[in-house]
Structure 1
Amino acid sequence: MPIPEDVSGFELDKGVQQELQSLPKGLAEDVGKNLVMVARLIDEDPEGAYGYSRVALRLASRVAAVREAAGFAAYANQKYSEALAEFRAARRMTGNVELWPVMADCERGLGRPEKALDMAGAPEVQKLDKAGQVEMRLVAAGARRDMGQLDAAIVTLQSPELASSSVQPWTARLRYAYADALLAAGREDEAREWFAKAVESDKDGSTDASDRLAELDGVEFVDAFDESESEGAEDGAAPAQADDERRDEQDQ
């Protein structure tokens, strides 16, 4: 697959670059560039990211960072079985537990929420950092909802991190998930309160909390572009009609 000229491979995290040093120099460069493309495209063009991940995997399947990137690319394309296999391979290579939450979410994607809940209660969760533990809580709550256990999902999300007034990278998503669970349980007033709190903490627009809040408030958005086009068409019709009338008068 084509690699843009501005991609060097040095855009990668230093840790990943160190992993690639186990490969011959030319191969390391090729793999690195493909990994950069995975990271660049995974949000806006997941299919494209998946294609580059397959190239990197073909070139260096024994590098943990490659297996991890392949896992996330497959995950972004809802290829949960494939993603889980790649994440497991990366974990075997490194011994790290940081992929535990996304592995559990793959189990959800495969229709096995009970397995995801088992993973949420495993000893590995205690080894996760705070961000990882919050992610695991989100996955566990999602599994509860998959099983129709809305009240249990709400309780799962209730935590010191949710109650905290400080804003962390995970705060907006946690508050959003809590609001969404409340709304699903028919607790609309509480849901509105928590969607508002999610908006306050969502500085980079990682959720659509503002849209959900507006929807609860009954706000309807009008496409200003379409409206202006319509007005323009009406404004344009008047001069044309006036010209026709003037020509008629001159003919008379």
Structure 2
Amino acid sequence: MKIVEYDSRSPEEAVALDELLLLKAEAGGLGETLRLWSAEDHFVVIGRAAGVSEDCFPGRCRRSGVKIIRRISGGHAVLQGPGCFNYSAVLSYERDGRYKDVRQSYRRILEGISDAFKVAGLDVEFFPVSDLALDGKKISGNAQARKRKYFLHHGTFLFDFDLDRISFYLRHPSTEPEYRRGRAHGDFLANIPVTAGELEDTIKKVFLPSPAAWKPDRTDLEELREIVTRKYSRDAWNYAF
């Protein structure tokens, strides 16, 4: 597994890079990767089939200059920005037979992360299908996109986030896990009391990457910008539903 060394230059690139890594792995040119990143500016990322107006407040986003970008994985909207730590792992089904089953893959990955935090003294719990919570409050959401040989698993961790912003830009989701029990964002979400560096160390321990790194070359960057131009910068994609 390689660590990705590239700082995205825009929200569109940040979202598009996950797709590029999955496509390159599937094509046989890269293999497994682990990407760790955070955003300096706020923007909303919505799921592959989510309705923009159902998941967020597009008018508020527009007036605040908060971009709305659609990702290739499913799930509900996420507000990115300072204090939100992100990880993206492109994994081969050959790594673990349970990865071929969607629910089992979530359990395998997220229980591994949960166990790593427990070792550090934090009682982080896995709540199916794709949440991690501390003291009953969600600290991490996760989603996947799948190809024939590889799949993308990416997730967020709130650690120093302005939680009030979430209710301003994101609606209450149309579906929710049982443990949420109808709670509003402000009562349901929480920051995990660790630093970005501690999150990075924990995620690295879980996925056990080799010391190798991957930096995009000129051809890779051309492919990335082509994806941004063709898809992630276009309303036809971001506002498709």
TM-score by length of 2: 0.24
Structure with bigger RCO (C-alpha 8 Å, 6+ apart): 2
Q: Which has the higher helix share?
A: 1
TM-score by length of 1: 0.23
Q: Which has the larger radius of gyration?
A: 1
Q: Which has the higher strand share?
A: 2
